[in-house]
A = this chain, B = another copy of it.
Amino acid sequence: MTANTYPAARLDRKRAALLLVDHQVGLLLGVHDHDQEELRRNVLALAKIAKAQDLPVIVTTSADEGANGRLLPELQALLPGVRVVRRPGEIDAFGNAEFEAAVRATGRDQLIVAGISTDVCVAFAALSGVAKGYQVHAVLDASGTWNALASQAAALRMQAAGVVLNSTVAVAAELLHDWREQGGAELAGIFAEHALPFYGSLVSFVASQPEPAGV
């Protein structure tokens, strides 16, 4: 399993692409292994991080005219120029030729995957990605599924297959390497607004400190 060890498995902004799979308004309502609003905030954070780091982003949805619902409107609003691959029936995103071609066209060999649900959309895309030779990072806390045992099964299945398990804040930090590099200035703001509300409180707190004479 050395493939999961540094430096080979370290995310690199020149090598990575972000794949967001089936973050749809209907599916979000069934997530029970994770706070639905924390999931929503994390996927918005991932989208902003990808923009700040110039990562290619591919968004896909499944049967979005039925009970699954459309793409989360806040996510669509954040990614105005991004094409959404609307899969008519393929459950594994890599089973859709347009999606696979779009991934290949990015020229990237590291895939950051999040989606709903963890055990279906994320796991299938991750397992297929590994089978096709990509290094895959599954972002557990920007994903969600129907119950705690399905969540555990998905995590352990992906781990056993060589998928790197990751999280929203760690993906951002791993791509950035150093707060002084490209995107660093925006990152605290993305954390504060989306992924880490407590950090937003601390940023407000620092900003609201009285002038020194008042301390």
Contact = CB atoms under 8 A, between A and B. Distances in A.
Contacts of A117: 169-170
Interface in A47-94: 62-70, 72-73, 88-92
A205 B69 CA distance: 6
Given A204-B25, A204-B73, A198 B30 contact: yes
Nearest to A33: B149
Interface in A161-215: 161-162, 164-170, 173-174, 176-181, 184, 188, 192, 195-199, 201-206, 208-212, 214-215
A41 to B, nearest CB: 8
Contacts of A154: 165, 167, 170
A68 B96 CA distance: 35
Contact of A202 (B4, B29, B176): B29
A206 B67 contact: yes
Interface residues of A, number: 103
A108 B120 CA distance: 23
Contacts of A29: 29, 198, 201-202
Interface of A: 1, 4-7, 9-10, 25-26, 28-30, 33-38, 40, 62-70, 72-73, 88-92, 95, 117, 119-120, 123-124, 127-128, 130-131, 138-141, 143, 145-157, 159-162, 164-170, 173-174, 176-181, 184, 188, 192, 195-199, 201-206, 208-212, 214-215
Given A70-B204, A91-B179, 20 more contacts: A4-B157, A5-B127, A6-B130, A25-B201, A25-B204, A30-B199, A33-B149, A69-B204, A69-B205, A73-B208, A92-B177, A95-B178, A119-B167, A140-B150, A147-B167, A150-B169, A154-B167, A154-B170, A157-B165, A159-B160
